[in-house]
Amino acid sequence: MTAQLTERIVELTRSRVPFVQATVVRAQEPSSAHAGDRAIVLRDGTIEGFVGGQCAAGSVRAAALDALESGVGVLLRVLPDGDDAFPQTPGASIVVNPCLSGGALEIYLEPLLPSPSLYVAGTSPTAEAVAALAPALGFVVDRAGTPDGATAVVISTHGGDEPAAVRAALDAGVGFVGIVCSHTRGEALLAELDLSEDERSRVHPHVGVDIGARTAPEIALSILAEIVRRIRLEGLVATSDRPAVTRPLQAVDPVCGMAVTIGPDSIRAVVDGTEHWFCNPGCRDSFVADHAS
């Protein structure tokens, strides 16, 4: 299972599919999970791997989808009772799960989002410097094909067909289109393009943070600094990389009050013509016995 899960993680990463990696960092007996157990949680709530039984998995699923939406990792502690000695603080969270067989679980949930994609148009010294520096900052650089799916585009053609490059990036839905040009050329280019208000907000002539850059590598540094700032402080992300989380249908276990994911393998019972869902067979059997005629 470990080798298969590792291969699956590599596959998802290469395919630029967002997911959460869940790793058990501590498990108290008699928990069925052990430290080092791993699983991945996809944006539709599917869990592949093992980080505990069905009751624990429900808590992990809910917390993992929250982490995927926020992009922030969290240490989740799943408790079998009301013991709240573990502090609930930023980066740490508690879930009380009365159906656990016993023994707390601590599981680290790490959202793994696609690396930002940078499309570089042009072969100028600045374009070459941007393409060379960007991978060290975690960018995947694309210089061929189209800007579809790019987080940002940098255009440095030195008099090439800049309008066509800008239009291609805007039509692809790119949120940040930076143009390496003078202020004068930038004003002329904007007038030539006749952009809508939304398109104008995404186009940035004379791109880069003002650091007094002179050389091509310094200009590249200033450009990438602006893009990083947009990503970190303004939430710039490629439209295709937004983790559109699909939360599965859920019901409340009428015995223990736990949220239960409804699926083909979920535990259920029909009592007095009403369908009920349970987190484990014990809750189902107890409920059915209490309502036996």
pLDDT at 55: 76
- Residues of each domain in the chain carrying CATH 3.40.50.720: 117-241
Rounded CA separation 85/137 (Å) = 39
pLDDT at 128: 97
ω into 30 cis (within 30 of 0): yes
Give the CA angle between residues 130, 135, 140 to the nearest 5°: 95
C-alpha distances in angstroms, 116 versus 15, 152, 175?
13, 8, 12
Q: b vs e for 110-135, b when ≥16 Cβ sit within 10 Å of the residue's Cβ?
A: ebbbbebbbbbbbebebbbbbbebbe
Along the 293 residues of the chain, how does pLDDT read in single tens digits? Answer: 688 999 999 999 888 889 999 999 998 887 788 999 999 999 988 999 999 887 788 889 889 999 988 888 999 988 876 555 555 666 778 877 766 666 788 999 999 988 899 999 999 999 999 999 999 999 999 998 899 989 999 999 987 889 999 999 999 999 999 999 999 999 999 999 989 999 999 999 999 999 999 999 999 999 999 999 999 899 888 766 666 677 778 788 888 777 787 877 788 898 888 899 887 788 888 888 888 76
Q: What is the pLDDT of residues 184-212, one digit of tens each?
A: 999 999 999 989 999 999 999 999 999 99
Q: Give the pair of three-digit tokens for residue 86.
A: 């573990």
User: Could you tell me the sign of the dihedral formed by the alpha carbons of 10, 11, 15, 20, in that order?
Assistant: negative
pLDDT at 1: 63
Could you tell me the fold of the domain covering 117-241?
A: Rossmann fold (3.40.50)
